[in-house]
Amino acid sequence: MSKKLILDFFKEHKLSYIIGIIFMFLSSLIQTFFPKVLGNTIDILRVDNFSTGAVMINILLLFLIAVGTFLSTYAWRNLVIGNGRKIENYIREKLFNHFQKLAPEFYAKRKTGDLIAYAINDISAVRMTFGPAAAMSINGLVVCIASIYSMSKAINWKLTLLTLLPIPVIMLIILRVGKVVQRKFKRVQESFASISDRVQENIYGIRVIKAYAQEDAEVRNFEKLNEQMMNSNLEMVKTSSILSPVIEFCFSISFVLNLIVGGKMVVDGSISLGDFIAFNTYLTLIMAPIISIGRVITIFQRGMASLKRLSEIFDTQVDIKDGQAMAEKAVEGEIEIKNLSFAYPETAEKVLENISLKISKGQTLGILGKTGSGKSTIANLLLKLYNVEDNKILIDGVDINDYSLETLRKGFGYVPQDNFLFSASIKDNIKFFKAVYSDEEVENAARVSCIYDSIADLTEGFDTILGERGVNLSGGQKQRVSIARAIIKNPAVLILDDSLSAVDTITQTKILKNFKNIRKNRTAIIISHRISAIEDADEIIVLDHGRICERGTHSRLLKRGGLYYDIYREQSEALQDT
């Protein structure tokens, strides 16, 4: 998949690549004129009473070569290496887009630090491969071919062949070392992922670490990972650093051979002094790109290692897809579940079993149950965060699997148990960065969720910038800001998944009363472990081990004297004790 993305990018930017490569060829060819002109100038200067005009013409030619090289190099570097930056941006956007589509179980198996490494280090390595490394390869190849041709054609082919004998040895070493670099770079990326993950976990869990006085232990753990990363980098550097000295050593042999054989040829009169100097200059021109080949191979192998890692992500299938019918009818709020059984992917145990219920538009459903009874799973399935069988969940009479995901989820407002707030202003968190909502709507949503007064007491009010994950708000405040985010959307179906657990019962009562006033003819699903949060619901279901064990209104369930009654009595006694 990642290879296809790169091919698509090349097709889209083929014109700039073609123009850039043309300028690259032009730059390389212009450079190869320099040694010959320099040699001719020296031969002119060796003659008594040399022509000043001829020397001036050659100096002008050298100046034009320098200007031509500068302009053409500037052009191709902007085009080819500029495209390298564009491909980095392109792949990162595609990767982020792919991340948005992947199912929750993908994130349950992957560490955040590893995913960050993909989005930063791996994409950067791919950019280096298809930007600077590709440019250096083509430029170096053209310079080498043109220089070797000029050396053999214009000066002496036997001397050329002799001085280039070490090059096959260089290429063999480069290829062998490159494969080792690829393996070691993969370890470097894995080490970077581990250390990123550790840093992130420590930042998020700093309060817990301090509460348990684990600072020193965490520092020791980090030091181990840091040392591991250093060692993996050093191992790669030790391997890749072999290339430059080996190449330089081999070229030293070439220069020595040229000095011995070429010098003798000058003395014998086979070639002129100018040709000898031109030959040495050509050899120097060849040396630069061949030395850079070592770096190119290293970059290329890193890029290939990263491309393989990225392919693993891009090849991960998007399990949750739009329905084939692509129904785009707006959700109105009638929900029916028919004999639904569900087990999470890669687990055999059923979380829900034979669930059947119907919620008419405008009704409120309360869901009660112990931890692990399947309450949140129902919310996840209604939002189609996981796949379900056909005709098991109907929304307004339409199979949930026929809806487009965007249309389906637009109809729901969801407040999860783990309230997530962004590092942005409170206003932006409530609006979810959407400009369609006015300040008045933001304030009204805050009033309904009983967070308005708390926000008004802050120095910056609704413009107060929250810390990461809303760290500067209490748990109850975070829940109420999250509720305001759902309220401002005015969805057809509002799901509160145990999202009143951190607020006191008085505030909870106010929020639920506000819901009744503003959400007439709107469907609501309230999932809670508190009976006080659901007692006014039109229907209440009690879940136990994934099954509906009781259902009815609050009064009927109390009269029945079952599990609901037992929970009610426990909570009433606990309330009296406090």
- Burial class (CB within 10 angstroms; exposed 0-12, middle 13-18, buried 19+) of 220: exposed
Residue 577 has pLDDT above 70, yes or no: no
From the list 61, 93, 112, 68, the residue with the least C-alpha distance to 469 is 112
Work out the mean pLDDT of the chain and round it to a whole number: 82
Phi-psi label, residue 394: left if phi above 0, alpha if psi -120 to 50, beta otherwise: beta
Confidence grade of residue 207 (pLDDT, cut at 50, 70, 90): low
Tens of pLDDT along 236-290?
Answer: 777 777 777 777 777 777 777 777 777 777 777 777 777 777 777 777 777 777 7
Percent of the chain clearing pLDDT 90 (strictly above)? 11
Confidence grade of residue 556 (pLDDT, cut at 50, 70, 90): very high
pLDDT of 570 reads 86
Residue 199, both tokens: 């840093």
pLDDT of 17 reads 86
Distance CA 498, CA 412 (A): 16
Q: Which of 187-201, 211-225, 226-240, 539-553 has the highest mean pLDDT?
A: 539-553
Q: Which residues of 329-360 are buried (b: 16+ CB within 10 A; e: fewer)?
A: eebbbbbbbeebebeeeeeeeebbeebebebe
Tens of pLDDT along 133-186?
Answer: 878 888 777 777 777 777 776 666 777 777 777 777 777 777 777 677 767 777
From the list 11, 23, 34, 289, the residue with the least C-alpha distance to 137 is 289
DSSP string, 147-165: HHHHIIIII-HHHHHHHTT
Confidence grade of residue 493 (pLDDT, cut at 50, 70, 90): very high
Residue 311 has pLDDT above 80, yes or no: yes
SS (H, E, C) 373-400: CCHHHHHHHHCCCCCCCCCCEEECCEEH
From the list 106, 172, 107, the residue with the least C-alpha distance to 420 is 107
Residue 338 has pLDDT above 90, yes or no: yes
pLDDT of 366 reads 92
**Out of 1-10, 59-68, 366-375, 558-567, which region has the weakest mean confidence (pLDDT)?**
1-10
Tens of pLDDT along 54-110?
Answer: 888 888 988 998 899 899 989 988 888 888 888 888 888 888 888 888 877 777 777
pLDDT of 551 reads 92
Residue 473 has pLDDT above 90, yes or no: no
Position 314, amino acid: F
pLDDT of 223 reads 84
pLDDT of 294 reads 64
Contact 372, 547 (CB under 8 A): no
Distance CA 446, CA 370 (A): 30
Residue 356 has pLDDT above 70, yes or no: yes
Tens of pLDDT along 411-433?
Answer: 998 888 877 888 888 898 888 86
pLDDT of 199 reads 76
pLDDT of 264 reads 76
pLDDT of 71 reads 92
Strands of the sheet containing 539-544, edge to edge, are 412-415, 493-497, 523-528, 364-369, 539-544, 547-552
Element (H, E) at 453: helix 452-456
Span 492-506, average pLDDT: 86
Percent of the chain clearing pLDDT 70 (strictly above)? 95
Domains of the chain, CATH where assigned = 2-181+241-314 (1.20.1560.10), 342-411+493-578 (3.40.50.300), 419-490 (3.40.50.300)
